[in-house]
Amino acid sequence: MGIMLSLQEVTKIYPGAEHIKAVDNLSFDLEEGEICTMVGPSGCGKILIDDQNVNRLDTIGLLRSIGYVIQNIGLFPNMTIAENIATIPKLKGWDHDRIAEKVESLLEIVNLPPNEFMDRYPRELSGGQQQRIGVARGMAADPPIMLMDEPFGAIDPINREHLQDEFLKIQAKVKKAIVFVTHNIDEAIKMGDKICLLKDGKLVQFATPEELLTEPVNGFFRDFVGGDRTLKRLNLLKIKAAMKPDPPVIMQNESSEKAKSMFRELKLDHLIVVDNEKRLVGYVDQEALRMASPRYSPMSLAIL
Amino acid sequence: MQIRLFYPFIKKFAPFAVTAIIVFLLYKYYGALKYTSDNLAEFFRLNYEHFFLVIISMATAGTVGVGLGTIMTRKGFERFGSAIMAIVNVWQSIPSLGVIALAYGFLPLIGLSGIGVIPALIALFFHAVAPIVRNTYAGIKDVSNDVIESATGMGMTPNQILFRIEIPNALPVIMGGIRTSTAIIVGSAPLAFLIGGGGLGFWIFTGIALMDMGILIAGAVPVAVIAMLFDALLSRLEKIIVSKGIQIKEYQTA
């Protein structure tokens, strides 16, 4: 796990606006297989960091070694899907067979059957399919680094969620170092291994989503995330982290008195029921216990 | 019903057939047919001259027009773009006869002859170049910014972007300009006769001068046929060179 991308004291000043630093002294490192989401309010400088990356790498060759996916996809309408994906490999002068092989494997990775999609044109595809082609095209030349500028920004929330999940699956397979620009904090938390929170071109916090939610460095993040910070954190929290490994159990042939006393002592209303070999067979709660005991059966009530 | 199979063909060719029959009857009625067959050698010479005028002026106008339109979209030339477009638009509003007259009047001022094939070609060229420049410029400018941005971001050089992305995507519009120009040129070429450029204008203006419908029609109908021929050829060419991904789906007649 080496460092794939290292930004060191990057500053961007636009000509004609010298007093404003669009990006101010930004540094961070990104390791292989990590997604770094850049997030902040509009105009905070995250897009400029895109420009920054692109402009600093002044040779075309270096530019071609970065996979680039933009918000509006920008597939080339005059080319077939296969030609779109093959653009950079072709410019790099790969031979025909290698390109064909790569195109097929990429289409499989993004879950679009190659036979069906290779010779179609972008306009014949849905927005979500086009976006996946955009991602495939970005990965075509095996770039170690990918730059994604609000790649799911133009897609409706339901499809976006789906694409995010798909993309995380793809990332699990390909393990690139990815810079993922978004203005959506939920997306940033979901997609990022690290989050780079920006304000006015300055780095506010560079941390894992967990850290960002539990220990925000200042009020800005609290405002930016909104009041449901805890909720968002719960969203992120996996049950495994909160689980107690040794739950109170009761054997299935114990008496109901035992269960009642356990309810009372442990202040529980559920108990896990196991058999002699401690295998889970079900659960019992106070209500069920009451209903099952003969004294409180509806029948006896009727007789009284 | 076997005949149903032929409906598409009938629908497609019926207008042509009807036109052809009417034209043929006119031809016969006014004696154009006889005039043509009596002067067959001249008929072929005039057609040749006409084709020559159209093809040469189209080739030059196409090359210069596409070139100029493209250059206007390049970095550093953008500020000339709107100025040139304004000139082009005004230029286009000058009628064909006016352009021919201008060639006749102005060329002697710069030391060239105002009479003959060359001035005719120059006039036709200037008349044809405007729509091509305009469409090329508009077509390339119209290519979506997202597409250009992603091409740039992927590391394509400006030339690669121009030849692989911008021009292929602008082709339908550029071809539209070329077709418009061709129609204008084929229709204006008879005027070349007025400044000694030859072509089918010879018979048309002779017919007008002699008030002889036969001679006039014998000249005018081939002009119309040539116009249709060029348009058909260009539309076929368009189908071949424009990517299927951006072709406008044709209206289905069947």
Same domain, A259 and A182: no
Same domain, A57 and A129: yes
pLDDT on residue B139: 92
The 10s digit of each residue's pLDDT in B100-119 is 888 888 888 887 787 888 88
Same domain, A156 and A288: no
| Mean predicted confidence (pLDDT) in A203-213 | 76
Token readout for B218 is: 């014998």
Cβ contact, residue pair B245, A88, below 8 Å: no
Domain B43-241 adopts which CATH fold?
A: MetI-like fold (1.10.3720)
Cβ contact, residue pair B151, A76, below 8 Å: yes
Token readout for A249 is: 């159990």
Same domain, A81 and A224: yes
Same domain, A14 and A86: yes
3-state secondary structure of A6: strand
Same domain, A123 and A197: yes
Same domain, A206 and A295: no
| ipTM of this complex | 0.72
Give chain A's mean pLDDT: 74
Q: Judge whether residue A135 has pLDDT over 70.
A: yes
Distance, CA of A74 to CA of A91 (rounded, Å): 18
State whether the Cα torsion A84-A88-A89-A90 is positive or negative: positive
Share of chain A above pLDDT 70, in %: 67
Using 70 as the pLDDT threshold, list the residues of chain B that sit under it.
1-3, 249-254
- Using a cut of 0.80, tell me whether the model's pTM lies above it: no
CA distances from A23 to A28, A46, A199, A268 (A): 13, 8, 9, 55
CATH number at residue A260: 3.10.580.10
Same domain, A231 and A255: no
> For B171, which residue in chain A has the nearest alpha carbon?
A78
CB A177 within 8 A of CB A146: yes
Same domain, A197 and A287: no
Q: Where are the domains of chain B?
A: 43-241
Number of structural domains in chain A: 2
pLDDT on residue B66: 94
Contacts of A73 in chain B (CB under 8 A): 146, 150
Same domain, A78 and A193: yes
Contacts of B165 in chain A (CB under 8 A): 76, 78
Quickly tell me which residue has 């080739």 as its tokens: B59
pLDDT band at A1 (very low <50, low <70, confident <90, very high): very low
pLDDT on residue A303: 52
Side-by-side strand order, sheet with A145-149: A66-69, A145-149, A177-181, A35-39, A194-199, A202-207
| Mean predicted confidence (pLDDT) in A19-33 | 67
pLDDT band at A190 (very low <50, low <70, confident <90, very high): confident
Cβ contact, residue pair A63, B154, below 8 Å: yes
pLDDT on residue A304: 46
Same domain, A212 and A292: no
Distance, CA of B32 to CA of A109 (rounded, Å): 70
CATH number at residue A200: 3.40.50.300
Contacts of A121 in chain B (CB under 8 A): 243-246
CB B144 within 8 A of CB B74: no
Token readout for B228 is: 């249709």
Residues composing chain B: 254
Cβ contact, residue pair A70, B146, below 8 Å: yes
The 10s digit of each residue's pLDDT in A34-72 is 777 777 665 544 444 444 444 444 556 666 677 777 767
Between A33 and A228, whose confidence is greater?
A: A33
Same domain, A136 and A188: yes
What residue numbers bound the domain in which A60 lies? 3-240
